[in-house]
Structure 1
């Protein structure tokens, strides 16, 4: 492996940390900021702790960094308040009103799709560590893992909203008045997991590059 490729995870970490520090200054709602960023920091911490024992491909780290940065932006504004008019207009062209309705800030809904990027490293580690017998099982395992996490996170959101209450609770829940918000979020997590899980299967040859 070329020397400069070893540096890519460190460069991605530096980019994320710079963004995190900048967006940690005066967020829209500090309580919501903490609630949104604690799970992200746990992921970053786990990746750092395990880096010496298992290194994902650079593309895995890129995908995970993409999501972490996206989520950090959402945590700064609270997802509902992210200035995303251009994105909402672009998403409206997909004509998926049942899942990406007009008049709603769909920054968070797109974020749930991007949660699916973690299917890529799950497939990768499953196959490289030989945890599973074949590619098909690795794909199903990754999608089911994403689905389990998606459902668990929605339960966490519910409990936080009930316990915290008020503006911060509502901001963390992020339903924007949609009674089916949790189910739609889980659907987007799973769809994203399928997309990025398949991408992992088709890009195995690049894992060590």
Structure 2
């Protein structure tokens, strides 16, 4: 069991690489695929090269992998066109039409909520590196970091849409006609960050 726990991050990496390789074949739009996957490839490479210096908890690696798998799937189809019929039906049942309106592909909205779960490994890093003294501060900084990243990503989307233009720019922006899309996305980034600590905050520790 101990060996299994030790090699779990390797399994997560293999799972991501298999999905990445399969979904790199004939994506819906190669330019959008590249733009969507670049923000994922960079942290994957960083995590690989820093693994021996700093090993996150298996829970953090699970949360990271969950988001990476989701995002890579969306990058293949573009988030707006990703097959998500069953998921849309479930989200419409939450009676949160302002965030998950019926008739819209809400795959991207769920993706922004899942962005927030990365607040957990960020808080773990701050806590275990002793950059902060207590768990509450680490949690606050984790949520703050994801809020900042959510806002920055919306700016990146804007610039890409302006400079790329055309269908690729619109697909990357993914607003689907909602004038409040950016604000709702940022809200879901923060909501996801807060939620991950409500669910998993007990396991945030100073030692792995």
| Distance change in 2, residues 1:53/1:102 (3 Å) | same
Aligned residues: 208
Alpha-carbon contact 2:113-2:191 (below 8 Å) kept: yes
- Tell whether the 8 Å contact from 2:79 to 2:108 is kept in structure 1 after alignment: yes
- Indicate if the aligned counterparts of 1:157 and 1:172 stay in contact, CA closer than 8 A: yes
Q: Distance in 2 between matches of 1:207 and 1:185?
A: 33
Say if 2:110 is the partner of 1:110: yes
Residue 156 of structure 2: aligned partner: 156
Identify the residue that residue 84 of structure 1 maps to in structure 2: 84
Aligned partner of 2:65 in structure 1 is 65
Report what 2:166 is aligned to.
Answer: 166
Give ranges in structure 1 of 5+ residues lacking alignment. none
**Given that residues 124 and 205 in structure 2 are in contact (C-alpha distance below 8 angstroms), is that contact kept between their aligned partners in structure 1?**
no
Query: SS of 2:17's equivalent?
Result: helix
1:192 has 2:189 as partner: no
Q: For 1:2-13, what aligned pairs fall within 5 Å after superposition?
A: 2-13=2-13
Give how far 1:200 is off.
Answer: 4.1
Does structure 2 conserve the Cα–Cα contact (< 8 Å) formed by 1:142 and 1:197? no
Q: Deviations over 1:114-159 (max 9, x none)?
A: 0011111011111111111211111110111000000000000000
Deviation at 1:86, TM superposition (A): 0.9
User: Partner of 2:131 in structure 1?
Assistant: 131
In the TM superposition, 1:32-43 aligns within 5 A as 32-43=32-43
Distance in 2, matches of 1:57 and 1:198, equals: 18
Q: CA deviation at 1:20?
A: 0.2
Structure 2 portions without partners, runs of 5+: none
Q: CA deviation at 1:85?
A: 1.1
2:177 is aligned with 1:177: yes
Distance in 2 (alpha carbons) for counterparts of 1:59 and 1:184: 27
TM-score (norm 1): 0.96
* TM-score where L is the length of structure 2: 0.96
